[in-house]
Structure 1
Amino acid sequence: MNFKNCHSASAIKRNVVFEFDTGRKTKPIPKRKNKKVMEERKCLECGEPLRGRADQKFCNDLCRNAYNNKKLGKSSKYIRKINRILRTNHSILKDLNTENKTTIPSKKLEKENFNFNYHTHYYKTRNGKVYFFCYDQGYLKLDSNRYLLVKKEDI
Protein backbone atom coordinates (compact mmCIF):
# COMPACT_ATOMS: atom_id res chain seq x y z
CA MET A 1 0.00 0.00 0.00
CA ASN A 2 1.14 3.47 -0.80
CA PHE A 3 0.60 5.74 2.24
CA LYS A 4 1.59 9.35 2.09
CA ASN A 5 2.02 11.51 5.11
CA CYS A 6 -0.90 13.92 5.16
CA HIS A 7 0.54 15.82 8.08
CA SER A 8 3.54 17.13 6.22
CA ALA A 9 4.16 20.86 6.47
CA SER A 10 3.59 21.45 2.75
CA ALA A 11 0.22 19.66 2.80
CA ILE A 12 -0.99 21.69 5.77
CA LYS A 13 0.22 24.99 4.32
CA ARG A 14 -1.51 24.42 1.02
CA ASN A 15 -4.65 23.00 2.68
CA VAL A 16 -4.45 19.89 0.51
CA VAL A 17 -5.56 16.44 1.57
CA PHE A 18 -4.02 13.25 0.20
CA GLU A 19 -5.91 10.04 -0.24
CA PHE A 20 -4.01 7.28 1.52
CA ASP A 21 -4.29 4.45 -0.94
CA THR A 22 -3.93 6.35 -4.24
CA GLY A 23 -1.76 9.29 -3.29
CA ARG A 24 -3.94 11.63 -5.36
CA LYS A 25 -4.64 15.17 -4.28
CA THR A 26 -8.27 16.00 -3.47
CA LYS A 27 -9.97 19.32 -3.18
CA PRO A 28 -9.70 21.01 0.22
CA ILE A 29 -12.76 20.89 2.44
CA PRO A 30 -14.25 24.37 2.50
CA LYS A 31 -14.77 26.05 5.84
CA ARG A 32 -18.34 26.90 6.83
CA LYS A 33 -19.23 30.51 6.40
CA ASN A 34 -22.49 30.45 8.38
CA LYS A 35 -21.16 28.64 11.39
CA LYS A 36 -23.54 29.03 14.31
CA VAL A 37 -21.84 30.50 17.30
CA MET A 38 -22.90 28.44 20.27
CA GLU A 39 -24.13 30.70 23.00
CA GLU A 40 -23.21 29.79 26.53
CA ARG A 41 -26.24 28.22 28.15
CA LYS A 42 -26.87 28.81 31.83
CA CYS A 43 -28.90 27.03 34.48
CA LEU A 44 -32.32 28.70 34.85
CA GLU A 45 -32.09 28.51 38.65
CA CYS A 46 -28.50 29.25 39.69
CA GLY A 47 -26.94 30.65 36.49
CA GLU A 48 -24.07 28.14 36.32
CA PRO A 49 -22.84 27.27 32.80
CA LEU A 50 -24.39 24.07 31.40
CA ARG A 51 -22.47 21.21 29.87
CA GLY A 52 -23.96 18.30 27.98
CA ARG A 53 -27.20 18.04 26.08
CA ALA A 54 -28.29 20.95 23.93
CA ASP A 55 -31.80 21.02 25.46
CA GLN A 56 -30.59 20.95 29.05
CA LYS A 57 -32.05 23.71 31.24
CA PHE A 58 -30.74 22.92 34.71
CA CYS A 59 -27.35 21.89 36.07
CA ASN A 60 -28.80 19.28 38.48
CA ASP A 61 -32.00 17.94 40.07
CA LEU A 62 -31.83 20.33 43.02
CA CYS A 63 -31.92 23.36 40.71
CA ARG A 64 -34.74 21.83 38.63
CA ASN A 65 -36.85 21.15 41.73
CA ALA A 66 -36.16 24.57 43.25
CA TYR A 67 -37.06 26.32 39.99
CA ASN A 68 -40.31 24.38 39.56
CA ASN A 69 -41.31 24.88 43.21
CA LYS A 70 -40.81 28.65 42.84
CA LYS A 71 -42.69 28.63 39.54
CA LEU A 72 -45.70 26.87 41.04
CA GLY A 73 -45.55 29.09 44.08
CA LYS A 74 -48.61 30.44 45.80
CA SER A 75 -51.25 29.07 43.44
CA SER A 76 -50.14 25.50 44.04
CA LYS A 77 -50.10 26.17 47.79
CA TYR A 78 -53.83 26.94 47.60
CA ILE A 79 -54.49 23.83 45.52
CA ARG A 80 -52.49 21.65 47.93
CA LYS A 81 -54.54 23.02 50.83
CA ILE A 82 -57.84 22.14 49.12
CA ASN A 83 -56.59 18.70 48.07
CA ARG A 84 -55.50 18.02 51.66
CA ILE A 85 -59.02 18.86 52.91
CA LEU A 86 -60.61 16.67 50.22
CA ARG A 87 -58.32 13.75 51.06
CA THR A 88 -59.11 14.14 54.75
CA ASN A 89 -62.86 14.20 54.03
CA HIS A 90 -62.54 11.13 51.80
CA SER A 91 -60.57 9.28 54.45
CA ILE A 92 -63.15 10.08 57.13
CA LEU A 93 -66.04 8.91 54.93
CA LYS A 94 -64.18 5.75 53.95
CA ASP A 95 -63.36 4.86 57.57
CA LEU A 96 -66.95 5.44 58.76
CA ASN A 97 -68.59 3.72 55.76
CA THR A 98 -67.46 0.14 56.38
CA GLU A 99 -70.22 -1.19 54.15
CA ASN A 100 -71.35 0.45 50.91
CA LYS A 101 -74.30 2.10 52.69
CA THR A 102 -74.22 3.23 56.33
CA THR A 103 -76.27 5.59 58.49
CA ILE A 104 -74.34 7.51 61.15
CA PRO A 105 -75.09 10.30 63.61
CA SER A 106 -73.90 13.77 62.52
CA LYS A 107 -71.79 14.11 65.69
CA LYS A 108 -69.45 11.38 64.39
CA LEU A 109 -68.57 13.45 61.31
CA GLU A 110 -68.20 16.61 63.41
CA LYS A 111 -65.98 14.75 65.90
CA GLU A 112 -63.68 13.64 63.05
CA ASN A 113 -63.42 17.31 61.86
CA PHE A 114 -65.19 16.63 58.60
CA ASN A 115 -65.33 19.82 56.49
CA PHE A 116 -68.78 20.08 54.87
CA ASN A 117 -67.72 23.04 52.69
CA TYR A 118 -65.47 20.92 50.46
CA HIS A 119 -66.56 18.12 48.12
CA THR A 120 -65.63 17.03 44.59
CA HIS A 121 -69.12 16.80 43.10
CA TYR A 122 -72.78 16.24 43.91
CA TYR A 123 -75.59 14.10 42.58
CA LYS A 124 -79.22 15.22 42.58
CA THR A 125 -81.84 12.47 42.46
CA ARG A 126 -85.25 12.70 40.76
CA ASN A 127 -86.78 13.14 44.22
CA GLY A 128 -84.64 16.24 44.77
CA LYS A 129 -82.23 14.70 47.29
CA VAL A 130 -78.64 15.92 46.94
CA TYR A 131 -75.73 13.55 47.62
CA PHE A 132 -72.35 15.24 48.12
CA PHE A 133 -69.23 13.27 47.14
CA CYS A 134 -65.55 13.33 47.95
CA TYR A 135 -64.29 11.25 45.05
CA ASP A 136 -66.13 7.90 45.39
CA GLN A 137 -67.41 8.39 48.97
CA GLY A 138 -70.62 10.35 49.44
CA TYR A 139 -73.10 11.49 52.05
CA LEU A 140 -76.73 12.59 52.24
CA LYS A 141 -78.16 14.57 55.13
CA LEU A 142 -81.24 12.62 56.27
CA ASP A 143 -82.28 14.94 59.11
CA SER A 144 -80.62 17.32 61.55
CA ASN A 145 -78.64 14.61 63.32
CA ARG A 146 -78.19 11.72 60.82
CA TYR A 147 -76.25 11.18 57.59
CA LEU A 148 -76.42 8.37 55.05
CA LEU A 149 -72.94 7.41 53.79
CA VAL A 150 -72.68 5.77 50.36
CA LYS A 151 -69.99 4.56 48.01
CA LYS A 152 -70.25 5.19 44.28
CA GLU A 153 -69.20 2.07 42.38
CA ASP A 154 -69.36 3.12 38.73
CA ILE A 155 -66.78 5.70 37.70
Structure 2
Amino acid sequence: MKKCMNCEKELEGRVGKKFCSSYCKSNYHYARRKDKEDSFFKTVDKKLKLNRRILKNYNRAGKATVRAEVLTKHGFDPNYFTHYWKNKNGVVYLFCYEFGFLSFRDAKGVKKFTLIKWQGHMAN
Protein backbone atom coordinates (compact mmCIF):
# COMPACT_ATOMS: atom_id res chain seq x y z
CA MET A 1 0.00 0.00 0.00
CA LYS A 2 1.06 3.58 -0.65
CA LYS A 3 1.62 6.01 2.18
CA CYS A 4 0.92 9.74 2.52
CA MET A 5 3.95 11.78 1.44
CA ASN A 6 3.57 14.02 4.52
CA CYS A 7 2.52 11.89 7.49
CA GLU A 8 3.13 8.40 6.04
CA LYS A 9 -0.37 7.22 6.95
CA GLU A 10 -1.64 4.44 4.67
CA LEU A 11 -3.75 5.82 1.83
CA GLU A 12 -7.22 4.71 0.93
CA GLY A 13 -9.09 5.56 -2.23
CA ARG A 14 -8.00 6.10 -5.80
CA VAL A 15 -4.78 4.66 -7.21
CA GLY A 16 -2.79 7.89 -7.84
CA LYS A 17 -3.47 9.46 -4.45
CA LYS A 18 -0.41 10.98 -2.73
CA PHE A 19 -1.82 12.58 0.42
CA CYS A 20 -4.37 11.50 3.00
CA SER A 21 -5.90 14.98 3.36
CA SER A 22 -5.74 18.51 1.99
CA TYR A 23 -3.96 19.52 5.21
CA CYS A 24 -1.15 17.02 4.54
CA LYS A 25 -0.89 18.14 0.92
CA SER A 26 -0.63 21.80 1.93
CA ASN A 27 1.81 21.09 4.76
CA TYR A 28 4.07 19.01 2.49
CA HIS A 29 4.29 21.69 -0.21
CA TYR A 30 4.75 24.48 2.34
CA ALA A 31 7.69 22.67 3.95
CA ARG A 32 9.37 22.02 0.58
CA ARG A 33 8.97 25.64 -0.53
CA LYS A 34 10.25 26.90 2.82
CA ASP A 35 13.37 24.73 2.57
CA LYS A 36 14.13 26.06 -0.91
CA GLU A 37 13.65 29.69 0.11
CA ASP A 38 15.79 29.36 3.21
CA SER A 39 18.62 27.49 1.53
CA PHE A 40 20.14 30.62 -0.06
CA PHE A 41 19.72 32.64 3.13
CA LYS A 42 21.23 29.86 5.24
CA THR A 43 24.20 29.51 2.89
CA VAL A 44 25.00 33.24 2.97
CA ASP A 45 24.42 33.48 6.72
CA LYS A 46 26.69 30.50 7.34
CA LYS A 47 29.49 32.02 5.23
CA LEU A 48 29.18 35.42 6.94
CA LYS A 49 29.35 33.83 10.38
CA LEU A 50 32.37 31.73 9.39
CA ASN A 51 34.12 34.81 7.97
CA ARG A 52 33.42 36.75 11.18
CA ARG A 53 34.72 33.93 13.37
CA ILE A 54 37.94 33.68 11.32
CA LEU A 55 38.50 37.46 11.29
CA LYS A 56 37.88 37.65 15.04
CA ASN A 57 40.32 34.81 15.68
CA TYR A 58 43.14 36.46 13.72
CA ASN A 59 42.50 40.03 14.89
CA ARG A 60 42.75 39.99 18.66
CA ALA A 61 44.67 43.28 18.93
CA GLY A 62 42.33 45.41 16.79
CA LYS A 63 44.64 45.55 13.76
CA ALA A 64 46.64 42.76 12.13
CA THR A 65 48.14 41.63 8.83
CA VAL A 66 47.68 38.02 7.75
CA ARG A 67 48.57 36.08 4.62
CA ALA A 68 45.49 35.37 2.51
CA GLU A 69 46.34 31.66 2.31
CA VAL A 70 46.11 31.36 6.10
CA LEU A 71 42.56 32.73 6.15
CA THR A 72 41.35 30.84 3.07
CA LYS A 73 42.75 27.61 4.53
CA HIS A 74 40.17 28.01 7.31
CA GLY A 75 37.34 28.71 4.84
CA PHE A 76 37.41 32.52 4.69
CA ASP A 77 35.68 33.85 1.56
CA PRO A 78 36.23 37.58 0.90
CA ASN A 79 33.22 37.65 -1.44
CA TYR A 80 30.90 37.54 1.58
CA PHE A 81 30.73 40.69 3.70
CA THR A 82 28.04 42.76 5.41
CA HIS A 83 29.12 46.32 4.61
CA TYR A 84 32.07 48.51 3.70
CA TRP A 85 33.86 51.61 4.95
CA LYS A 86 35.92 54.04 2.89
CA ASN A 87 38.63 55.93 4.77
CA LYS A 88 39.65 59.55 4.05
CA ASN A 89 42.23 58.34 1.51
CA GLY A 90 39.56 56.45 -0.46
CA VAL A 91 40.69 52.97 0.65
CA VAL A 92 37.72 50.62 0.97
CA TYR A 93 37.60 48.09 3.81
CA LEU A 94 35.03 45.28 3.67
CA PHE A 95 33.40 44.15 6.91
CA CYS A 96 31.81 41.02 8.32
CA TYR A 97 29.82 42.63 11.08
CA GLU A 98 32.40 44.44 13.26
CA PHE A 99 35.53 42.86 11.74
CA GLY A 100 36.96 44.40 8.59
CA PHE A 101 39.57 43.43 6.03
CA LEU A 102 41.52 44.96 3.17
CA SER A 103 43.13 42.81 0.48
CA PHE A 104 46.55 43.82 -0.85
CA ARG A 105 49.80 42.41 -2.22
CA ASP A 106 53.08 43.04 -0.44
CA ALA A 107 56.36 43.99 -2.16
CA LYS A 108 57.03 40.33 -3.01
CA GLY A 109 53.58 39.89 -4.56
CA VAL A 110 52.17 37.81 -1.69
CA LYS A 111 48.44 38.37 -1.17
CA LYS A 112 47.64 39.49 2.36
CA PHE A 113 44.78 40.98 4.36
CA THR A 114 44.93 43.88 6.75
CA LEU A 115 42.40 43.16 9.50
CA ILE A 116 40.73 45.89 11.53
CA LYS A 117 37.90 46.21 14.01
CA TRP A 118 35.01 48.65 13.59
CA GLN A 119 35.54 51.92 15.48
CA GLY A 120 33.02 54.59 16.43
CA HIS A 121 34.58 57.24 14.17
CA MET A 122 33.90 55.03 11.11
CA ALA A 123 30.15 55.64 11.36
CA ASN A 124 30.53 59.20 10.02
TM-score normalised by structure 1 residue count: 0.53
The within-5 A match list for 1:69-80 is 69-80=31-42
2:104 is matched with which residue?
A: 142
Q: CA deviation at 1:133?
A: 0.5
1:85 is matched with which residue?
A: 47
Q: CA deviation at 1:88?
A: 0.7
Q: CA deviation digits over 1:7-50, x for unaligned, max 9? A: xxxxxxxxxxxxxxxxxxxxxxxxxxxxxxxxxxxx98448xxx
Q: Percent identity?
A: 31
Change (3 A) 1:71 1:113: closer
2:118 is matched with which residue?
A: 152
Change (3 A) 1:46 1:99: same
Q: CA deviation digits over 1:83-116, x for unaligned, max 9? A: 0111111111011111111111222112212111
1:131 is matched with which residue?
A: 93
Q: CA RMSD in A?
A: 2.5
Q: Which runs of 5+ in 1 are unaligned?
A: 1-42, 48-62
SS in 2 for 1:149: strand
Q: CA deviation digits over 1:70-89, x for unaligned, max 9? A: 45231211110110111111
Q: Which runs of 5+ in 2 are unaligned?
A: 1-20
Which of the pair is proportionally richer in helix?
2
* Larger relative contact order (CA 8 Å, sep ≥ 6): 2
- Paired with 2:82 and 2:100, the residues of 1 have a C-alpha distance of 10
Structure 1 counterpart of 2:56, from 80, 94, 103: 94
TM-score normalised by structure 2 residue count: 0.64
**AA aligned opposite 1:150:** I
Larger radius of gyration between Structure 1 and Structure 2: 1
**Count of aligned pairs:** 96
Change (3 A) 1:83 1:146: same
Q: Which moved more, 1:139-148 or 1:121-130?
A: 139-148
Q: CA deviation at 1:149?
A: 0.6
- Paired with 1:80 and 1:45, the residues of 2 have a C-alpha distance of 27
